Amino acid sequence: MLPRRMARVFIDGQEGTTGLEIQERLARRSDLELISIAAERRKDREARRACIEAADVTILCLPDAAAKEAVALAEGSSRVRFIDASTAHRTAPGWIYGLPELAPGQREQIRGARLVSNPGCHATGFALLLRPLVDAGVVPRDYPIFAQSITGFSGGGKKLIQAFEEGPPEKVAPPRPYALALQHKHLPEMQHMSGLSHLPGFVPIVGPFYRGMLVSVPLEVRALARAVSPQEVSAIYAERYARERYVRVVPFGDDGALDDGTHLSPLGCNDTNRVDLFVFGHASQLFLTARLDNLGKGASGAAVQNLNLMLGADEGTGLTV
């Protein structure tokens, strides 16, 4: 019996922040062969096409337009499989959303998919918070959601990273809201994957730290489809994610996860593929928060998790809880 061939993986855009992190996670593995392309040929269409066609799975870490171009290079081939880390295909027909924990059956769809879209970091936390409550009939689909997120500056790419690492302290030290026109690029997937009938309002904030994030959603109990307590919401999460190794539901009232019992750090899931879910509030108001590493479960970790599923490997290979 011939030995099984190692799976071949090509990272198109490996020089970017997400690509580098994926490469770091995969380089230590003995079950994969990474296809490389010379630096001077990274923009050569035919060289890229050859790498894509030679790979079992190609992971795209590119701007939207370049990601669409890469997929077009393999047009006509039913064998080539993609994981796209851009926003280009997250709500596109024919693409499977790469968040295994989203809903029952999502993991099985990813396993058999040829085209998988990697979720956005903000959208990952948002969907994990909202989708169970929409499915349970607690949050109406037309609820006027307004969410916020504070994230490390690594999510902004090379230009923002350079600004924070080299800029004057008085300019980069304070947290800064952005996307103030309320048109953040993650909004379509946030709405669609959460089951909402309207786009949520959303303002992210970039903080003076490299990685880590908190995605938060406040809710007015009087405006929900039915009244629920913080304890009931926590129980809905606990039941929904009971078998998920990368989602941890922190029990309501557990102040041990807070700094000095009062402050919630965005750094608590850094260097892991874990999402922590918190429920705060009282009988009249709820404040739901998801904590994750924007470069881990919010980007490269999610891509590796999806890759493992697509290749039939253990879902956690190369990942840290």
**Helix, strand, coil % (nearest 5) of the chain?**
35, 20, 45
Return phi, psi of residue 215, to 5°.
Answer: -110, 125
How many Å apart are CA 101 and CA 306, to the nearest integer? 11
Catalytic residue among 51, 61, 121, 269: 121
Locate 10 and state its tokens: 């090509």
How many Å apart are CA 297 and CA 319, to the nearest integer? 10
Among this protein's residues, is 121 annotated catalytic?
A: yes
Task: Name the pairing type of β-strands 146-151 and 201-206.
Answer: parallel
Residues for the chain: how many in total? 321
The answer for 312, left when phi > 0, alpha when psi is -120 to 50, beta otherwise, is: left
Q: Is residue 266 within 8 Å of 152, Cβ to Cβ?
A: yes
Tokens 């697509």 belong to residue: 310
The residues that are catalytic are 121
